[in-house]
Amino acid sequence: MALLEIKNLTVTFDTVSGPLKAVDNISLHVDRGEVLAIVGESGSGKSVSMLAVMGLLPWTATVTADYIRFDGKDILNLKPAERRKIIGKEIGMIFQEPIASLNPCFTIGFQIEETLKQHTNLDRAGRRKRTIELLHMVGIPQPEERLRSFPHQMSGGQCQRVMIAMALACNPKLLIADEPTTALDVTIQKQILDLLVNLQMETGMAMILITHDMGVVAETADRVAVQYKGRRVEEADVLSLFEAPKHPYTRALLSALPEKATGDRLPSISDFYFEDEVLKGETA
Ligand SMILES: Nc1ncnc2c1ncn2[C@@H]1O[C@H](COP(=O)(O)OP(=O)(O)OP(=O)(O)O)[C@@H](O)[C@H]1O
């Protein structure tokens, strides 16, 4: 049995200019301990589909699916209180903008301890001990002192480490990482990615990694789902996808990798395919 199974997920937003279908009938699954990468252009519904799993979309969103099963339970139809017991405890999520994801008014120690208060029976001393352990685990130096820091006193990379600590606080079975390195400096991106990969291997949790970067996919994922215009256009294990991409959009993504450059500039997707050709590939 897969850890997470999504069947025919559709998300439509009510907007002033009418309904906007951000996710169109997407199905996917992630097994225990597996790393699934979701790749696709900006606006292809990657984040929205994962926010739908977390139940974090605004009221303007209508979410329908045959089911969203986590560990055998259909979380789509759970009562909000029941769903909150799973979200944040068994499924953790980290986002693109770590500084914006943290509350600027509270210390990072307080914010991690609040997560533990919500989801565990640990007493105050136990929560403090676990918070220090988590900060140590994500590579924050002098964790006992850093507990008292506010987000603005830390760098973007350190804030992302704190977000990772918070997401892992209750030993989740699944971590959803939504472009976790996009907002960071290039040198820090590699450190955060290595941290995530190491933590995933150490803990054995499953991970869904949303990214634009096929280089990141090659380094981290077991399987890849490619999204284009709200639809899933291809899914394959990493080796097969890199060796024999089937969809024109996937081929275009791979052609844009730096190592594929032959002239003095990188090829861009429009150099290869016109929009209608990419869409035609959806039925291929
Ligand atoms: N709250 C909202 N109200 C209306 N439309 C929204 C809302 N949130 C997202 N959308 C729209 O849904 C579509 C999918 O957005 P989503 O953020 O999932 O894309 P994405 O693939 O994650 O892109 P990116 O890589 O840029 O994060 C976009 O057209 C976006 O504008």
Instruction: Report the pLDDT value the prediction gives residue 284, as an integer from 0 to 100.
Output: 41
Domain ranges of the chain: 31-59+79-90+170-248
Q: Quick: pLDDT tens for 94-120.
A: 998 888 889 999 999 999 999 999 889
pTM: 0.88
Q: Quick: pLDDT tens for 202-244.
A: 999 999 999 988 888 998 999 999 988 878 899 999 999 999 9
Q: Which two tokens stand for residue 263?
A: 């002239």
Instruction: Report the pLDDT value the prediction gives residue 213, as an integer from 0 to 100.
Output: 85
H or E element: which one contains 50? helix 46-54
For ligand 1, say whether the CB of 26 is within 6 Å of any of its atoms.
Answer: no
Instruction: Report the pLDDT value the prediction gives residue 188, as an integer from 0 to 100.
Output: 87
ipTM of this predicted structure:
0.95
For ligand 1, say whether the CB of 172 is within 6 Å of any of its atoms.
Answer: no
For ligand 1, say whether the CB of 232 is within 6 Å of any of its atoms.
Answer: no
Task: Give residue 15 CA to ligand 1 midpoint distance, Å.
Answer: 12
With a cut of 90, say whether residue 182 has pLDDT above it. Answer: no
102: left (phi over 0), alpha (psi -120 to 50) or beta: beta
CA–CA–CA angle 111, 157, 199 (5° rounding): 75
User: How far apart are the C-alpha atoms of 208 and 173, rounded to whole Å?
Assistant: 11
Q: What is the mean pLDDT of residues 147-167?
A: 93
With a cut of 50, say whether residue 270 has pLDDT above it. Answer: yes
Q: Which of 10, 14, 41, 47 to mutate to test the pocket of ligand 1 (most atoms within 8 A of CB)?
A: 47
Q: Tell me the pLDDT band of 279, cut-offs 50, 70 and 90.
A: low
Which segments within 121-271 are labelled E, that is strand?
Answer: 174-178, 206-211, 223-228, 231-237
Q: Tell me the pLDDT band of 252, cut-offs 50, 70 and 90.
A: confident
CATH topology classification for 31-59+79-90+170-248: Rossmann fold (3.40.50)
Instruction: Report the pLDDT value the prediction gives residue 274, as an integer from 0 to 100.
Output: 45
With a cut of 70, say whether residue 268 has pLDDT above it. Answer: no
For ligand 1, say whether the CB of 141 is within 6 Å of any of its atoms.
Answer: no
Q: Tell me the pLDDT band of 283, cut-offs 50, 70 and 90.
A: very low
What lies within 8 Å, CB to CB, of 119 at 6+ separation is 85, 88, 89, 169, 170
